[in-house]
Amino acid sequence: ARIMQNIAEREGYGVVRDFVGHGIGQTMHEDPKVPNFVSRDLLMNDIELREGIVLAIEPMCNLGTEKVRTLADGWTVKTIDNKPAAHYEHTVAVTADGAEVLTDGN
């Protein structure tokens, strides 16, 4: 989280704090939360990576402020300043040998 946030902010991007990545298991959105920024909550509740855990890592960066709003449809998210944003996602499984990116297209 710290490295992702530092790189994005160093390059002038806002890092969205309203949404985070998550665990994936029996349902699509499970604990743990996987933030892409450093927060008091993250520092107090860091994720323990162990074999078998599957995580959706989802950084969201904006050209302007990190502030966003959800539209009336309950799904569409826009930046407060209407500047462009990007949302990327990879699903990663923690294995005995390290990590396996499940969404790399290979």
pLDDT in tens, the chain (106 residues): 899 999 999 999 999 999 999 999 998 899 998 999 998 877 777 888 999 999 999 999 999 999 999 999 999 999 999 999 999 999 999 999 999 999 987 7
Domain spanning 2-101 has what CATH number? 3.90.230.10
* Cα torsion angle, 11, 17, 19, 21, sign: positive
How many other C-beta atoms are found inside a 10 Å radius of the C-beta of residue 36?
23
User: By the 8 A CB rule, do 62 and 11 touch?
Assistant: no
Write the CA distances from 79 to 39, 70, 82, integer angstroms.
Answer: 21, 9, 5
Report domain extents, the chain.
Answer: 2-101
The three-class DSSP label of residue 78 is strand
